[in-house]
Amino acid sequence: MQHVKSAQEISVWEAIIITILVIGGVSYSIIGLEVTPHIPIIFAIITLILYGLCKRVKVSNIEEGIFEGAKSGIGAIFIFFFIGMLISSWMASGTIPTFIYLALETVNGQFYYAIVFIVTSLIGLSIGSSLTTAATLGVAFMSISNALGLSDAITAGAVISGAFFGDKMSPLSDTTNLASMIVKVDLFEHIKNMAWTTIPAFALSFIFFAVLSPQEASADFQTISLFKETLKDLGFVKWYSLIPFAILAILAIKKVPSILTLSAGVISAAALAFFVQKDFSFSSLMTILFAGFQSDTGVEQVDSLLNRGGMESMFFSISLVLLALGLGGLFIKLGILPSLLKGIQNHLKKIPVLITAAACTAIGINITIGEQYLSILLTGSTFQNAFTKAGLHLKNLSRVLEDAGTVINPLVPWSVCGVFLTGVLDVSTVEYLPFAFFCLLSPVLTILYGITGLTIKKNS
């Protein structure tokens, strides 16, 4: 949103009061009333419009703030459409089902927590959805944990850590795409740069879970066996189903632009689907690409895992992105965000303070609003100019958005992810929080790197 210019100057205290009122209202609606974020954001936009009119800001300027803010998300919207088609086509070609089957093959009674972490990481990476991973395989692992007499809290921590690792690093994830697009950084460049903090956090988490795991255990792994048998009977588990993933990986390594890389992933998977599925038609392909893949195995948990994707599945995220960016545009146009930053402007020239401030802002928005999309959108919009003026490459900011934004949401009891995970895993946020090692380590590492300057990239 660098192109959005303020239409007025206001005092820092006035900006603080307006921010508290607006963010407080959105927070109460999402957390207290448990409504979807869209309507509270609409009311927040209306509130800011009325505030702008009271301050005698021209209607044309107010409209410009909304439109210019929303316009900055056009790139993300096109990426989201391609991501939706990629997920559904990878389901139809057997790519994601094959990944799931191979991951489940690793589960046994030894080093249980570490294996749960690894498997959910792989599944989360392959489907790009932390909540879907937790709601399907996570529930299965919780059942196995009960059968083994192991800790529900540690198992939930392992599930959430793995699921959010996958969500954070997957090119299929909406938050990963959103973080890269909000600051205009190439998707795969963003993922590559995140590895500097993510791999150490992953390795440390794996060690912690391995140490906490029992050396051996025995139980009936009937649930996992049912998952594997159902996937195999479906006929989607084939070695050549991994070809679309190989194509995507090669193009990503060669730094081919995201749209072309995702297009190649969709086209290769769509062509492969005709060989994997029987009686598959061009009409079926068109339906799947728009409405998503539909599985009817008779096993509810497996169907829940496979029934996803399609352009239509992205509409929720796209509409929220447009509304939130419009809100962000108003915050800037009405001089609210510039005033909030004005008081600490001199300090933000120092890189350690700048990165720490961005991380703390993302964490703070997660805590106050409980919405990870808004933590990415508002933090990215607020700090984009400051990072540029400090001579930093914006991929530093996109990494902070994920390290302190995406993975923090499940640690907040009243957040969207926190409430969802507590419901599906039947473990309170306070119980699993100490064991969600990956989510706890990510913001610590990103702040540590900011203080030391390690892997911080500057503009050439």
Query: Is 355 within a domain?
Result: no
388 in any annotated domain: no
Token code pair at residue 100: 């799931």
Under-50 pLDDT residues of the chain: 219
CA distance linking residue 141 with residue 118, whole number of Å:
12
pLDDT score recorded for residue 324: 78
pTM of the model: 0.69
Residues of the domain holding 226: 75-314
Q: Give the separation between CA 137 and CA 149, rounded to whole angstroms.
A: 18
pLDDT (tens digit, 9 = 90+) per residue, 350-399? 888 899 999 998 998 888 776 788 789 888 888 888 898 888 999 999 99
Nearest to 102 by CA among 287, 227, 14, 250: 227
Domain count, the chain: 1
Residue 271, helix vs strand vs coil: helix
Cα 110 versus chain centre, distance = 30
Task: Report pLDDT for 280.
Answer: 84
- Tell me the C-alpha to C-alpha distance, in Å, between residue 317 and each of 73, 175, 178, 222, 397: 11, 9, 9, 36, 21
Q: What pLDDT, on a 0 to 100 scale, did the predictor assign at position 178?
A: 86
Distance CA 368, CA 379 (A): 13
The reply to whether 60 falls in a domain is no
> Cα–Cα distances in Å, from 346 out to 349, 368, 381?
6, 26, 19
In this prediction, residue 325 carries a pLDDT of 78
Domain membership flag for residue 24: no
Q: Does residue 293 sit within a domain?
A: yes
In whole angstroms, give the CA distance from residue 86 to residue 52. 42
Q: Please indicate, yes or no, if residue 364 is contained in any of the structural domains.
A: no
Nearest to 177 by CA among 285, 86, 288, 312: 86
Is 30 a domain residue? no
At position 383, the amino acid (one-letter code) is F
Residue 110 lies in a domain: yes
pLDDT digit string, tens, across residues 236-286: 888 888 898 888 778 866 767 778 888 898 999 999 999 988 888 899 899
CB-based burial label for 63 (10 Å; 0-12, 13-18, 19+): middle
